[in-house]
Amino acid sequence: MTTLPEPSQEALAVSHRLEAELRRSIEQAGGWISFAHYMEQALYAHGLGYYSAGSHKFGAPGDFVTAPEISPMFGATLAQQIAELLPQTAGNIYEFGAGSGRLALDLLRELEALDCLPTRYLIMDLSPDLIERQRATLQRELPHLAGRIEWLSALPDTLDGVIIGNEVLDAMPCELLHWTPGAQQRGVCLTPQGFAWQDRPISDPQLQQQVQGITIQGDDYLSEVNLNNLAFMRTLGAQLTRGAILLIDYGFPRAEYYHPQRHMGTLIGHYRHHTIDDPFRLVGLMDLTSHVDFSLVAQAGIDAGLDLIGYTTQAQFLINCGISAVMQRLDPEDVKVWAPQAAALQQLMSPSEMGELFKVIGFGKGVSIDWTGFAQGDRCYSL
C-alpha cells in the first residue's frame, strides 16, 4: 500500500462522518448500493463529500492539477474558438464545473481583449465550497465584469450560447461493471471489515442497454459505464436552442476504452498528487474519477439532436486555435515569466503528458462556422 501524506485530524473526522453516512445508505438500501451511488456521496454528500467539504483540491497544495491551473494560455487559446461562436448566439457562456474560477477568469480576460465579452457568463457547479472560491476570485480580479457573471442553482429551460466544461464529465459518478464474461453490476456492501465489493445482475434497463453496445474480450474484466454523462448530454441537447458545446476531458473512443489491456478499468483516486486504486480509502478526502467514453458522449449528443462537429486531441485543438501565437506574446528575455510558461506549454501539449490523453469534443446546434479548433486533424472517425 502506498504511504500517503497524513490527513489532518479535522479532515479524518469529516471522512469518518461520511463513512457513517455511507454505511447508513447501504443499510437503508437493503445491504447494497451501486458504485455510482457510492461515488456520488463520496464526492458530493452535503458538507462531507470531496467537492462539498473544504479540501483544497487544485494545484500544488491540492490533489491534482487541471489545464486552466497549469497556464492562463489554456483559457486564452480556448477563447479564440469561443469568440468565433458567441456572435452566432445570444452571447451567453455557460460553464459547468468551474473549479477555482481560473478558466472563467482567463476566458473573460481574453474575450475582453478581443472585444467579444459574453452578454452573461453563467456558472453551474455542484460544489458550494468551489462556488465561494469562484466568486472570490472573479470579484477580486474582474470587479468591473461582476454584473455579467452569475451562478445558477438550476439549469434554465433553454440555453442559447456556448457551453463549456473542462474535466467535468470525468467527475460525474459512474457505474462499475464486472464481466466474467457476462456482465454484472459491481456495487458496495458492508462487511465487518468495512466496505466491500459485491456483484449483482444488472436490473437497470438503461445500464443493460449500454452494456449491450460494449464488446469485451476476456473473462475477468472490470470497467465503467457513465450514465450521468449520457443524461448530461441528453439534457444539454434538449435545452440548447442555439449554440455550441465544448467539452474537454481525458478519455478515449469506445474501442480504446474497452481495450483488452484496460481490464482493470479506469476508475482512480487522486490524493495529494498520488493515485490510489482503492476507492474505499480516505473516503471523501480524495477525488474519484473515471476516464470518459467519448463514443458514448458523441452518440448521446447526436441522439439528443446536436450536430457532432469535431473530436480531437487537446494538443491539436490548442494548436489549431493558435496557442503558439499566445505563447509568442511573452518576451523570451523575461525568463522568470517565459520559462515557467514554456514548461506549462509542454505539459498541455506533450503526447506523454496531457496533449494526447485529453480530448476536445464539440457539438453545435443552429450555428454555421468552420470551427478553427477542428480545422486540422479532426478525429471524429475514430468515434
Ligand X SMILES: C[S@@+](CC[C@H](N)C(=O)[O-])C[C@H]1O[C@@H](n2cnc3c(N)ncnc32)[C@H](O)[C@@H]1O
What does the binding site for ligand X look like in residue numbers (CB under 6 A)?
51, 58, 66, 68-69, 96-99, 103, 124-127, 130, 166-168, 171-172
Distances (CA, A) of 233 to 18, 253, 266, 297: 30, 16, 21, 7
CB of 124 to ligand X, least distance (A): 5
Asked if 167 and 249 count as a contact pair (C-beta separation under 8 A), the reply is: yes
72-85 and 335-349 helices, crossing angle to 10°: 70
Nearer to ligand X, 19 or 95 (CB): 95
CB of 295 to ligand X, least distance (A): 20
Strands, sheet with 274-276, edge to edge from the N-terminal-most edge strand: 274-276, 268-271, 287-289
The answer for residues whose C-beta is within 8 angstroms of residue 333's C-beta and 6 or more apart is: none
CB of 95 to ligand X, least distance (A): 8
Beta strand spans in 105-144 (E): 120-124
CB of 103 to ligand X, least distance (A): 6
Nearer to ligand X, 96 or 257 (CB): 96
CB of 218 to ligand X, least distance (A): 30
Beta strand spans in the chain (E): 33-34, 92-96, 120-124, 149-151, 159-166, 175-179, 183-191, 194-200, 221-225, 240-252, 268-271, 274-276, 287-289, 292-293, 307-313, 358-365
Phi, then psi, of 367 in degrees rounded to 5: -120, 140
CB of 196 to ligand X, least distance (A): 27
Query: In the 8-state DSSP scheme, what is residue 157?
Result: S
Q: For cell 473542462, name the residue.
A: 166
Nearer to ligand X, 70 or 117 (CB): 70
Nearer to ligand X, 202 or 355 (CB): 355
CB of 190 to ligand X, least distance (A): 27
Taking CB atoms, the residue at the shortest distance from ligand X is 97
CB of 362 to ligand X, least distance (A): 17
Q: DSSP letter string over 276-342?
A: ES-TTSSTTTSEEE--EEHHHHHHHHHHTT-EEEEEEEHHHHHHHTTHHHHHHTS-TT-HHHHHHHH
